[in-house]
Each structure stands twice: as C-alpha cells, then as structure tokens.
Amino acid sequence: MESMVPSIVFTPGELADALGALRASTPLVQVLTNAVVTNFTANVLLAAGASPAMVDVPGEAGGFAAVASGMLVNLGTPHGEQRAAMAEAVAAANAAGTPWVLDPVAVGSLGIRTNFALKLRDASPTVIRGNASEIMVLAEAGSGGRGVEATDTVDSASAAATALALRSGAVVAVSGEADLITDGTRTVHVHGGSKMLTLVTGGGCALGAICAAFLSLTDDALLAAVAGHACYSAAAERAEAIASGPGSFAVAFLDALHTLTPAELASTAVLS
C-alpha cells in the first residue's frame, strides 16, 4: 500500500489564533539562559508580546518556575550556580505543570554541558529545540557541531529528531533552512525565515524563548512550537526585506515581531 502523505497538521487560522492568544495573555516567561544572549532574548519576548523574567539564581528559580507561564533552559554558558538553579527550576516546573523548553547549546565535545543536557533530556522537557548537530547529540546519534553552529543539515537530523521525541516525550524542533518540528508521530516543516538570523547572536536561543511563550496557550505543544517558529520566520522575512546587514536586521526583527498581525501570519506562514 502506498504510504499516505500526511496533510499539513495545522491550519493558518490555528497559527493566527495562537499569536492572538499570546498578545492577549502576555505570558510570563522565565528565562535561564546564557550570558551572551540574555538582553536580546528579553527584547525578543517583549517585542512578541510576552513578559520575560531572567530568574536564574538558586533559591529563587524554583519558586518562580511554579508561577511562570513557560520556561526556557538554555545551556550556552552553564556556570555551576546556574546549573543548580536550572535543576531547581526544572523540578519545580515539572511539579507545578509549567511547560519548559530545553536548548542544548553546543553539546558534543564539551563535557559539562553535554552531561547536564543528557540529564535534562530525561527530565521531561516539553520542547527540545536546537540546531541539527545539537539534536543529534541529544539523540545519541552525532558528535556535535562547530562551536555553537551546526555542521549537520536538518534532513540528516530528521530520524534523530523523531527518535529523541519518542524517547524523551518532548516535541523536538530542529532549526535550519527549513525548521523541522516533530512529536514523534506528527512532523511539520516551517519554511521561510532568514539566514540573517544566524548572524545575530541569540538568533537560535531566542527562538527557544518564543516557543516557551506559546506553550502556555495550548495543550498541544506541537502547535505551540510550530506557531512560535512560524511567527519567528515571518518576522525574519520582513526584517530581511528592509535590512542592510545583521545590525539593522536585528533591530528590524524586533520591530517585525512587534507589528506582525495574526492575519499576516496566517497569510504568509508556509508549512509542509
């Protein structure tokens, strides 16, 4: 029997509704992230309509995770105290039912972050987002990229993403030219966006925060992740159209995230 080609999993209207719900609810997003991208990540969340809180101190992180709408755990510069705060926050988020995103930045040859990421992989993240090389490491199917950048393609990470989703119970999002997002059963590709995002530090890290913002709006984590990626890509396309380089792109990207309407998202998002 010929294999069925699955139809597109979500409609443009569902994406538009998700953006409208985010703007109406201003989700409180706890961010435990790296020192490089903290400011950009907070500005991306604010521009999109969420409320960021960079709470990553042991003794505070757990209590805040219990009241946050969503949470991002990003391992870009995982100092000892931050790792303790992350462990506290993850335990509290899971106990309170707060959805959270894991971004395993630069896992592979760096032992401290890789060992910690493998532990967090098995600690019930709602979404795991990373580039292809990072996702392959968490699926135990690769050795890592070059620094924080991928050396593998999204397509080469597809099987690993599905296996990781089935193993971890998380939605797995692989970023690249066309983003791949899967819950192990349903798989969606989000097309478009701009390669200019790779020239702005935080271009991937802030995407994890946007996913965390959408997670509080629906019980379907795949929809939340797809809506987050679609908004991000739509804003990046708009920014690229008027930017003259990565500096003006970053500014235009914040503006585009802020002005993107649900109707524009519905009319421009390209899923397959």
Ligand X SMILES: Cc1ncsc1CCOP(=O)(O)O
Ligand Y SMILES: Nc1ncnc2c1ncn2[C@@H]1O[C@H](COP(=O)(O)OP(=O)(O)O)[C@@H](O)[C@H]1O
List residues forming the annotated binding site for ATP.
Answer: 129, 175
Q: Given the complex with ligand Y, which of 47 and 92 has the nearer CB atom? A: 47
77 touching ligand X, by CB under 6 A: yes
Which of the listed partners (ligand X, Mg ion, ligand Y, none) does 171 bind, with a CB threshold of 5 to 8 Å by partner kind?
A: none
Binds ligand Y by CB under 6 A, chosen from 198, 237, 246, 251? 198
Kindly state the tokens that stand for 271. Answer: 């899923």
251 contacts 86 by C-beta, under 8 angstroms: no
Which of the listed partners (Mg ion, ligand Y, ligand X, none) does 150 bind, with a CB threshold of 5 to 8 Å by partner kind?
A: ligand Y
Q: What angle do CA 30, 54, 203 make, to 5 degrees?
A: 85
Binds ligand Y by CB under 6 A, chosen from 56, 88, 179, 183? 179
Residues in 22-51 that interact with ligand X by CB under 6 A? 34, 36-37
Cβ atoms < 10 Å from Cβ of 149: 12
Q: Residue 38, SS3?
A: helix
d(CA 204, CA 6): 28
Q: What angle do CA 80, 205, 152 make, to 5 degrees?
A: 100
Binds ligand Y by CB under 6 A, chosen from 64, 100, 214, 232? 232
Q: 179-182 and 171-175 as β-strands: parallel, antiparallel, unpaired? A: antiparallel
Provide, rounded to whole angstroms, the least separation between the CB of residue 257 and ligand Y.
Answer: 12
Q: Given the complex with ligand Y, which of 28 and 238 has the nearer CB atom? A: 238
Binds ligand X by CB under 6 A, chosen from 78, 204, 228, 262? 204
Binding residues for substrate are 54, 202
Provide, rounded to whole angstroms, the least separation between the CB of residue 149 and ligand Y.
Answer: 6
Place of tokens 């926050």: 89
Kindly state the tokens that stand for 116. Answer: 């910690």
Cross-strand partners of 74 = 103
Backbone angles phi, psi at 30, to 5 degrees: -80, 130
Provide, rounded to whole angstroms, the least separation between the CB of residue 66 and ligand Y.
Answer: 28
Q: Residue 262, SS3?
A: helix
What 8-state DSSP symbol labels residue 176? Answer: S
Burial of 158 (0-12, 13-18, 19+ CB in 10 A): middle
- Residue 91 vs residues 26, 60, 82, 100, 165: alpha-carbon distances, Å: 24, 13, 14, 11, 20
Kindly state the tokens that stand for 174. Answer: 């692989």
Mask: binding to ligand X, 132-171, rule CB under 6 A, as x and -?
A: ----------------x-----------------------
Residues that bind Mg ion (CB under 5 A): 105, 204
Q: Given the complex with ligand Y, which of 131 and 216 has the nearer CB atom? A: 131
> Residue with CB nearest ligand Y?
204
Q: Given the complex with ligand X, which of 76 and 192 has the nearer CB atom? A: 76
Binds ligand X by CB under 6 A, chosen from 127, 205, 215, 224? 205
d(CA 182, CA 9): 11
* Interaction site with ligand Y (CB under 6 A): 130-131, 148-150, 175-177, 179, 193-195, 197-198, 203-204, 207, 232
**Which residue ranges make up the site for ligand X (CB under 6 A)?**
34, 36-37, 76-77, 105, 148, 201-205
